[in-house]
Amino acid sequence: MNELLVQKAATQFGNEPTAIKALGSGLIHHTYCVHYKNSPAMVLQAINKNTFKKPENIIQNYCMVQNYLSNAENSNAIAGLVTSKNGSYFWEDEAENFWRATLYFENSYALKMPTAPHKPRLLQIVLPHLQNNSAGLIQINYMRSFRAFITWRTVTSNLKMLLKELLSSG
């Protein structure tokens, strides 16, 4: 991704970025952690428009999940979306890249593959909690951008199969 475009996108969600660091390998999206002089750090992401033809649906779905979880009893919060300078939760640059930003949780991380034997077992703890806190979302058609090929039950089923494979291999 062009560094100038990333810098320009970063200034659309906060003032005076002091550091921009790539997060992950960018298989589908280009994702960065941006630190600012006088505002909280953010995760800045260019959503792949070849994969997601209507990226605004991702924003809409994220808002639904965030609103639902913020009102759910005993639920953990997810990172809040950040409003761009144009007043929306996204910004498009002159190259038609679709950008969004969320607050960054310090010391957070995402693993592509477990790095220690106990990591897959954490999924055994997290998955039931996730299912319990999101049970009401099954009744809401919040996956408009995936409607043709994915459902919430498919996601949880796939996570369970992944957990089984990880536990049997390690």
Q: Is residue 92 part of a domain?
A: yes
Q: Is residue 109 part of a domain?
A: no
- How many structural domains are present in the chain? 2
| pLDDT tier for residue 150 given thresholds of 50, 70 and 90 | very low
Q: Do 96 and 122 lie in a common domain?
A: no
17 backbone dihedrals φ, ψ, rounded to 5°: -65, 135
Across the beta sheet with 30-36, the strand order is 17-22, 30-36, 42-47, 98-103, 91-92
- Show which of 74, 103, 132 is a domain's final residue: 103
Task: Point out which residues pair with 101 in neighbouring strands.
Answer: 44
Q: Do 74 and 126 lie in a common domain?
A: no
Q: Do 8 and 92 lie in a common domain?
A: yes
**pLDDT tens digits, 2-17:** 899 999 999 999 999 9
**What is the spatial distance between Cα 132 and Cα 25, in angstroms, rounded to a whole number?**
31
- Residue range 130-142: average pLDDT? 58
Q: Is residue 57 part of a domain?
A: yes
Span of 19-28, 45-54, 95-104 with lowest mean pLDDT: 19-28
Q: Do 136 and 95 lie in a common domain?
A: no
Q: Which residue has the tokens 């055994």?
A: 124
Asked if residue 103 lies in contact with residue 42, where contact means CB atoms within 8 angstroms, the answer is yes
Q: Do 128 and 98 lie in a common domain?
A: no
Q: What is the 3-state secondary structure (H, E, C) of the chain?
A: CCHHHHHHHHHHHCCCEEEEEECCCCCCCEEEEEEECCCCCEEEEEECCCCCCCHHHHHHHHHHHHHHHHHCCCCCCCCCECCCCCCCCCEECCCCCEEEEEECCCCCCCCCCCCCCHHHHHHHHHHHHHHHHCHHHHHCCCCHHHCCCCCHHHHHHHHHHHHHHHHHHC
Q: Is residue 113 part of a domain?
A: no
**What is the pLDDT at residue 66?**
83
Q: Judge whether residue 87 has pLDDT over 90.
A: yes
Range of the domain at 28: 3-103
CATH number of the domain encompassing residue 52 = 3.30.200.20
- Show which of 60, 76, 103 is a domain's final residue: 103
Q: Which position has the higher pLDDT, 62 or 158?
A: 62
Q: Do 99 and 125 lie in a common domain?
A: no
Q: Do 45 and 94 lie in a common domain?
A: yes
Residue type at position 21: K
